Chain A
Amino acid sequence: MRRLPRNPAGLLGAGIVALLVLLALFGPPLWADAAARINPREISQGSSAAHLLGTDALGRDLLARTLTATRLTLGLALLATLIGTATGILLGTLPQVLPRRAGRAVIAAVDLLVAFPALLLAMFTAVVAGLDAQGAVLGIGAALAPAFARLTHTMTASVAGADYIAAARMLGVPRHRVLTRHVLPNIAEPLILNTAQAMGGALLGLSAMSFLGMGVQAPAYDWGRLLNEAFGHVYVTPSAVVAPALAVTLAGLGFMLLGDSFARAAAHTRAPAGGPAAAPAAVPAPDEPAPDTVLEVRDLTVAFPGGTTPVRQVSLTVRAGEILGLVGESGSGKSMTAAAIGQLVPHPGRTGSARIRLGGVDLDGLTASERRRLLGSSLAMVFQDPTSALNPALRVGGQLAEVATLHGGATRTEARDRAVERLDRVRIRHPADTARRHPHELSGGMRQRAVIAMGLMNTPRLIIADEPTTALDVTVQREVLRVLREAVDETRAGALFISHDIAVVGEVCDRIAVMYAGRVVEELPAGALHQARHPYTRALVGSLPDMDTDRSRPLTTIPGRQPAPGDVGEGCAFADRCALATARCATRPELRTRTGTHSVACWEVK
């Protein structure tokens, strides 16, 4: 047992099941006599000192009978589970061995059977096989089999695609041998883990059958049979149903808890660790922005509990009509910076910043509803994956229109017209028609443009585009970039364009901020990209192939890796990978203005 349950519920389930097994082993020798003793003077009694849970219609002790019945109940359930799982596994693996057509027929049959409720299959089988314990066991076994066959088939099919199976096939290993040597061992564990749940299902099913009089018959008795007998007198001695009913409930719960915790153990191996940590305080830096500044961020820091700080004291300014590119490798904190500006940092992250001003308004100075109104009307966001950014259940037009009705105060007709107009503006053909469609009817490029159109519904001051072209193919990328550029030029909004692709950024942006390990290391005009000074930016630019690149030599790469947000040290984070690094780099260089609009955080470059 590699996967003993560790959570309290799983332990409780294991405890209950262990108790049941003990009762099944030792119950009958201890209480079978008391359970069989007929006492005409104590018929159908309630609870008393001699009979804790009362007696049945023949004066037999109900507690002793319930405890004794554990063995038969569990035994029959085990038998039914074995029959069900064996049949199921056989049916589920048959398609692997049989000729293709026959295999399909088996799958179709299983699909058909799975649709039928278990009890119906059990009753059908019991009618055929007889109204006794044997019939009920066969019935419940038959009822369990289809689900197991489906499970086995699904897992077999998923394993069958693995490379090692393909290799075995190529080597000419016969199919039944591939099945027993390669497939079954790989799916054995989940199958076994599922048996705990199946056992619970079998126990409940058998009890139901016996309760209805289709299972165990007198003089034998399982819990279901006890329930059946007690139910016959329920108006006279209602308390008699309590003991067997509790036993069935307890067993059902026990197997469920155990099965659940097995399933959970199989699903994921470790729980995330970490406790709360205070967001680091930031020191305000005083200086007033230029009047046409749409976004001003000062000393923005995002921290997560456990010491991870993906964004460290980032300061950015975006002016009206300008696109600021934010470049960096994955993990450099660029997307988190965008999320923090949009106040969308995922829980449990904390934002600490001296100031975020959007259109000249300080976000910290607003109440929650004022902030929502401001962000809703003046900030537009475009995310990376257009296939998932639109709500699949709603029509495109409606998703656009709601921005205008909710934040812009437009009527429904106005909003709809505006949605069509905006779709047209982002160069979507047949905009009225498209507005009536669902997102899945649009191509990726159309969807991304629809998202941009959504951002343009109210006149935004700032557009944040987080890797808007990464998920698109190259020809569509250009289209989206052009639409973004046009939108900025027309609306005089500012844009923050986030990308890992320095070539794209250089093309579409006016200015560029390069991020590394949570900090901005260089900020420069896009036209000056080839005069970049920071060694990291130079390496990024240098890794780009252009027309003059010597194709016979490998492309330049940057040796080493960016440190994870959790273990950024005191000094310059790039020092480990930097050819210019010296002892000074153990102290972190500040971002300093070199010429006009060009700032660099490096000791070694001028």
Chain B
Amino acid sequence: MTALSDTDRGAPPRRSRRLTGRLLARRLLRLAGSLAVLVVASFAMIHLIPGDPLRRMLGSTAPKELVDQRRAELGLDQPLPAQFADHVRQLLSGDLGTSFFSSQPVADIIGQGLPHTLALAALATLTALAVAVPLGLWAAVRTRDGRRRGTETAFTTLTGAAVAVPEYLYGLALLLVLSLGLGLFPPAGLTGPASYVLPVTALAIAPAAMIARLARVETLRELDSDYMRLARAKRLPAWRLYAVHLLPNTLTATLTMGGLLLSGLITGSVLVENVFAWPGLGLRTVEAITQKDYPVAQAMILVYGALVLVVNFLVDLLIDVLDPRSALSASTTSGEG
């Protein structure tokens, strides 16, 4: 570090920008690697099934000719390397296979469901952030330096409890009370804007509680920092103190968490979609898995996995842009990793 501190009187160091370019390349490489592993895993899934997957699919009473015919249709009678080459070639051309039961192209199934699933996850994330960040900041300012122990206990207990309940149980409760009980919202399907309210709420509650807790802890830590002391010493008005000086520094961790939660939300939506018969991917995924429609299940795992990887990649990039520190430290430390 002494070398750094002696750039004192020389030109200020210019390093972060170039490293961000390298960092982007590194992150892209990692994304590509992960996607490749995912493709291999989804391909391997059907081969890892013990015994004969075709028998499992069609049942033990199915005639041998049918089983063999279906096996040939799926290309499972080919040698393994040829199968994999075919699989990759098909993926690259956008062909994700055909449903075993409906004979519908899987790409169509995904094309129909994906927008609805993404809408659900995105709305839930935005809702959670919009509620949780101000809530956490408010709680931190109210309870800093051990003030108002009661508020602190209530806040941590309530948010802690809210995190512990899985989203589909929120879904069930909302369905029972607000839809079946009070008739305020449609119970199932997507029939209009009102249909969004319950699934989005069910998905957003737990992440919101989690983000609010994190935002509070982050804010408390930053409130205690020297630059906040200096900012207070500068006698800035409260709004500027909190919105300009504090918020950006708490956002990094909060957004990281939000990003992690978003990828969790994508799978959480699987359950919530099943509660509300939401016409997204989750409903079709569970259907495919329980019906042993392996081509569809395989593709769904691939799509969900890719979604998660891409979302995590984008969140990382967003954080690099928002927080110049993390870009620098990630690029200097990830060299060894």
Give me the interface of A with B, judged by CB distance under 8 Å.
Answer: 9, 112, 115-120, 123-124, 126-128, 131, 200, 204, 207-208, 211-214, 227, 231, 234-235, 238, 241-242, 245, 248-249, 252-253, 255-257, 260, 272, 342, 344, 346-348, 372-373, 375-376, 379-381, 383-385, 388-394, 402-403, 406-407, 427, 429-430, 433-434, 437-438, 440-446, 451, 454, 472-473, 475-476, 479
B236–A253 contact, CB under 8 A? no
From B67-75, B94-102, B132-140, B301-309, the one touching the partner chain is: B301-309
Residues of B within 8 A of A402 (CB): 234, 236, 240, 244
Residues of B within 8 A of A376 (CB): 234-236
Residues of B within 8 A of A393 (CB): 248-249, 322-324
Q: Known: A117-B263, A120-B301, A446-B8. Is A126-B289 also a contact (CB below 8 A)?
A: yes
Q: What is the bound-complex CA distance between A388 and B181, given in angstroms? A: 55
With both chains docked as a complex, state the minimum distance between the C-beta of B144 and any C-beta of chain A, in angstroms.
7
From B79-87, B155-163, B195-203, the one touching the partner chain is: B155-163
- Write the B179-192 contact mask toward A (1 if CB under 8 angstroms, else 0): 01100000100000
A234–B175 contact, CB under 8 A? yes
B175–A204 contact, CB under 8 A? no
Q: Is B9 an interface residue (CB 8 A)?
A: yes
With both chains docked as a complex, state the minimum distance between the C-beta of B290 and any C-beta of chain A, in angstroms.
5
Instruction: Tell which of B48, B308, B323, B325 touches A128, judged by Cβ atoms closer than 8 Å.
Output: B48
Instruction: Tell which of B173, B176, B292, B308 touches A115, judged by Cβ atoms closer than 8 Å.
Output: B308
Give 7 A-B pairs besides A117-B264, A124-B45 with Cβ atoms closer than 8 angstroms.
A123-B289, A214-B290, A235-B180, A346-B145, A391-B248, A406-B237, A476-B8
Q: Known: A372-B235, A392-B249, A445-B5. Is A124-B163 also a contact (CB below 8 A)?
A: no
A127–B264 contact, CB under 8 A? no
Q: What is the bound-complex CA distance between A451 and B234, given in angstroms? A: 11
Residues of A within 8 A of B12 (CB): 429-430, 433-434, 437, 441-442, 446
7 closest cross-chain pairs (CB), A and B: A376-B235, A347-B145, A393-B248, A256-B164, A117-B267, A388-B226, A381-B233
Residues of A within 8 A of B236 (CB): 376, 402, 406
Residues of A within 8 A of B194 (CB): none
Instruction: Give 12 pairs: A residue, B residue, CB < 8 Å, sorted on A.
Output: A120-B301, A123-B285, A127-B301, A128-B49, A211-B271, A238-B180, A256-B163, A388-B227, A390-B227, A393-B323, A402-B234, A429-B12
- Write the B212-250 contact mask toward A (1 if CB under 8 angstroms, else 0): 000000000000011101111111110010001100110
- Write the B309-337 contact mask toward A (1 if CB under 8 angstroms, else 0): 10010000000001111001000000000
Q: Known: A124-B41, A347-B147. Is A252-B230 also a contact (CB below 8 A)?
A: no
Instruction: Tell which of A120, A385, A434 touches B305, judged by Cβ atoms closer than 8 Å.
Output: A120
With both chains docked as a complex, state the minimum distance between the C-beta of B330 and any C-beta of chain A, in angstroms.
13
Q: What is the bound-complex CA distance between A436 and B52, given in angstroms? A: 65
Give the residue name and chain of the B residue nearest to A383 (CB): B226
A443–B248 contact, CB under 8 A? no
Give the residue name and chain of the B residue nearest to A347 (CB): B145
Give the residue name and chain of the A residue nearest to B250 (CB): A393
Residues of B within 8 A of A346 (CB): 145
Q: What is the bound-complex CA distance between A255 and B173, given in angstroms? A: 21
Q: Is B129 an interface residue (CB 8 A)?
A: no
A249–B230 contact, CB under 8 A? no
Q: Of residues B180, B226, B270, which shows the largest number of chain A Cβ atoms within 10 Å of its Cβ? A: B226
Q: Of residues B4, B144, B166, B176, which shows the largest number of chain A Cβ atoms within 10 Å of its Cβ? A: B166
Residues of A within 8 A of B285 (CB): 123
Give the residue name and chain of the B residue nearest to A126 (CB): B289
Give the residue name and chain of the A residue nearest to B48 (CB): A128
A429–B180 contact, CB under 8 A? no
Q: Is the interface of B mostly helix, strand, loop or mixed?
A: helix
B45–A116 contact, CB under 8 A? no
Give me the interface of B with A, judged by CB distance under 8 Å.
Answer: 2, 4-13, 15-16, 34, 37, 41, 45, 48-50, 144-147, 157, 160-161, 163-166, 168-169, 172-173, 175-176, 180-181, 187, 225-227, 229-237, 240, 244-245, 248-249, 263-264, 266-268, 270-271, 274-275, 285-286, 289-290, 292, 294, 297, 301, 304-305, 308-309, 312, 322-325, 328
B245–A444 contact, CB under 8 A? no
Give the residue name and chain of the A residue nearest to B298 (CB): A127
Q: What is the bound-complex CA distance between A252 and B45, given in angstroms? A: 31
B16–A348 contact, CB under 8 A? no
Q: Of residues B9, B12, B164, B236, which shows the largest number of chain A Cβ atoms within 10 Å of its Cβ? A: B164
Residues of A within 8 A of B230 (CB): 381, 383, 389-390, 451, 454
Q: Of residues A123, A407, A437, which shows the largest number of chain B Cβ atoms within 10 Å of its Cβ? A: A123
A214–B289 contact, CB under 8 A? yes
Q: Of residues B12, B15, B304, B309, which shows the largest number of chain A Cβ atoms within 10 Å of its Cβ? A: B12
A127–B5 contact, CB under 8 A? no
A403–B234 contact, CB under 8 A? yes
Q: Known: A429-B9, A443-B6. Is A211-B160 also a contact (CB below 8 A)?
A: no
Q: What is the bound-complex CA distance between A433 and B286, given in angstroms? A: 57
Residues of B within 8 A of A438 (CB): 16, 324-325
A248–B169 contact, CB under 8 A? yes
Residues of B within 8 A of A253 (CB): 161, 164-165
Instruction: Tell which of A118, A255, A344, A434 touches B232, judged by Cβ atoms closer than 8 Å.
Output: A344
Residues of B within 8 A of A445 (CB): 5, 8
Give the residue name and chain of the A residue nearest to B165 (CB): A249
B297–A127 contact, CB under 8 A? yes
Residues of B within 8 A of A212 (CB): 270-271, 274, 286, 290
Give the residue name and chain of the A residue nearest to B329 (CB): A440
A120–B172 contact, CB under 8 A? no
Q: Known: A9-B160, A249-B165, A252-B166. Is A127-B45 also a contact (CB below 8 A)?
A: yes
